[in-house]
Structure 1
Amino acid sequence: MDLKGYRTLSGAMLRVGIFGYGGGPSVIPLFRHEAVIRYNWMSDKEFGELLAFANALPGPIATKLAAQLGYQQKGTAGAVVAILSHILPTSIAIVALLGALYSMKESVIVAGMIAAVRPVIAVLLGITAYEFCAKTWGGLGKVIGVGFGVLAFLLLGVLDLHPAIVIITFLAYGTVHLKVYNWANQRWEKKKKEENREGMSS
């Protein structure tokens, strides 16, 4: 049994669980740092695909990402280890400190701490969003990438559609776009080869 691999996975998920203040979207940059930058388990593109897939499924994003990363590294056992490492320490800490948190919820110091950490979370999310946009521009082009960003904002922010509907719709388009792109690229390469053969024969 590769105990070192399990320790690495457990440590990564533990750090995300402890430092993922606020939960939800705030943990995404932390997951990305562990999976892409620290351990190089996957590329930015693969992490973006993983995030899109996880968002399309029901349930908290943090546990879905932990489960998927654990499964990719160590199979089913890895998924179990990753989820437990991610949720157990903070769950135990919350239960243990619940009384203290309720007694300090009106504290000016605690309120200041919460207010101070929010800009950090906003910057982390902004950096992650920018890097995803840069990858999108490379795959779809800036015009289509920006257009899709505006369309996603309208669907999510204005029309208030469920995120899963928007994600599934864009995934469907991405599948068609990739197939059309590959088909067109193959046609173009075939045409160039034929032109080269004709040029050599003449």
Structure 2
Amino acid sequence: MRKYLQLFLSFFKIGAFTIGGGYVMIPLIEKEVVERRRWIEREEFTEMLTLAQSAPGPISINSAVFVGYKTLGLGGMITAVLGTVIPSFVVILLVAMFFTDIRENPTVERIFRGIRPAVVSLIVVPVVNMLKKSGFSPFVVSLATIAALAVWLFGVSPVWVIAAAGVTGVIYHSWIAKEHPEK
């Protein structure tokens, strides 16, 4: 029972103190489940993150599903998901109740304007960490740059970018990397 409580509180804390969505939660989830609690290994976290990004739904929920299931099975999965969802649900409920009163409050607008740069930096951190873990190979950096430009400049749907990156990764690791293992 104690481990369920730890799992719930870990994901509750992450869900309660993260502003900006699932990608902002990634460094916090990694720190909690890999470094602090040691529930999963770093390599396993990277693989879990890839699956969590590929699966439909919010990455924070998908991560909670994988970590919860890995640590305590079905009960752990439910516990971790509830820990992640409850803080957001409560905040959204409170905001909805008082939204008309705070909608055009200049102080609230300034608070959110001040939070934006922090959110952007928290999204950049996982990208940089993943690049470091991949060894900054020219292939990975090129693929990431092409994907970002395709979405940002040309308006290509992220679905097509993810599919193309997946196919490219399979081709690269199935044929090119086998023929040239030093790359």
User: Which bin holds the TM-score, normalised by the shorter protein?
Assistant: 0.7 to 0.9
Q: CA deviation at 1:182?
A: 5.6
Q: CA deviation at 1:55?
A: 2.0
Structure 1 residues 48 and 161, CA, compared in 2 at 3 Å: closer, same or farther? farther
Corresponding residue to 1:18 among 12, 16, 21: 16
Give the distance between the partners of 1:72 and 1:30, measured in 2 at CA.
18
Mapped pair 1:165 → 2:160: yes
* Number of residue pairs matched by the alignment: 181
For residue 27 of structure 2, what is the aligned residue in structure 1? Answer: 29
Segments of structure 1 that go 5 or more residues without pairing to the other structure are: 189-202
Structure 1 residues 124 and 178, CA, compared in 2 at 3 Å: closer, same or farther? same
Return the structure number with greater helix share.
Answer: 1
Task: Verify the 8 A CA contact 1:55 1:163 in the aligned structure 2.
Answer: no
Q: Percent identity?
A: 25
CA-to-aligned-CA distance 1:102-142 (integer Å, 9 cap, x gap): 31121222122212222222222222221111112x2xx53
Query: Equivalent residue of 2:3, what SS?
Result: helix
User: Which residue identity does 2:65 align to in structure 1?
Assistant: A
Give the distance between the partners of 1:160 and 1:50, measured in 2 at CA.
28
Q: CA deviation at 1:97?
A: 4.6
For residue 56 of structure 1, what is the aligned residue in structure 2? Answer: 54
For residue 199 of structure 1, what is the aligned residue in structure 2? Answer: none
For residue 102 of structure 1, what is the aligned residue in structure 2? Answer: 100
For residue 91 of structure 1, what is the aligned residue in structure 2? Answer: 89
Task: Verify the 8 A CA contact 2:65 2:81 in the aligned structure 1.
Answer: yes
Give the distance between the partners of 2:52 and 2:159, measured in 1 at CA.
10
Task: Verify the 8 A CA contact 1:57 1:164 in the aligned structure 2.
Answer: no
Give the distance between the partners of 2:8 and 2:54, measured in 1 at CA.
25
CA-to-aligned-CA distance 1:140-198 (integer Å, 9 cap, x gap): x532222112221233223433334333433344344444446766xx9xxxxxxxxxx
Give the distance between the partners of 2:125 and 2:52, measured in 1 at CA.
20
Task: Verify the 8 A CA contact 1:56 1:164 in the aligned structure 2.
Answer: no
Query: Equivalent residue of 1:59, what SS?
Result: coil
| TM-score where L is the length of structure 2 | 0.82
Mapped pair 1:4 → 2:2: yes
Indicate the larger mover: 90-99 or 7-16: 90-99
Give the distance between the partners of 1:68 and 1:85, measured in 2 at CA.
14
Corresponding residue to 2:63 among 57, 62, 65: 65
For residue 192 of structure 1, what is the aligned residue in structure 2? Answer: none
Segments of structure 2 that go 5 or more residues without pairing to the other structure are: none
Task: Verify the 8 A CA contact 1:45 1:135 in the aligned structure 2.
Answer: no
Task: Verify the 8 A CA contact 2:23 2:122 in the aligned structure 1.
Answer: no
Give the distance between the partners of 2:115 and 2:73, measured in 1 at CA.
35
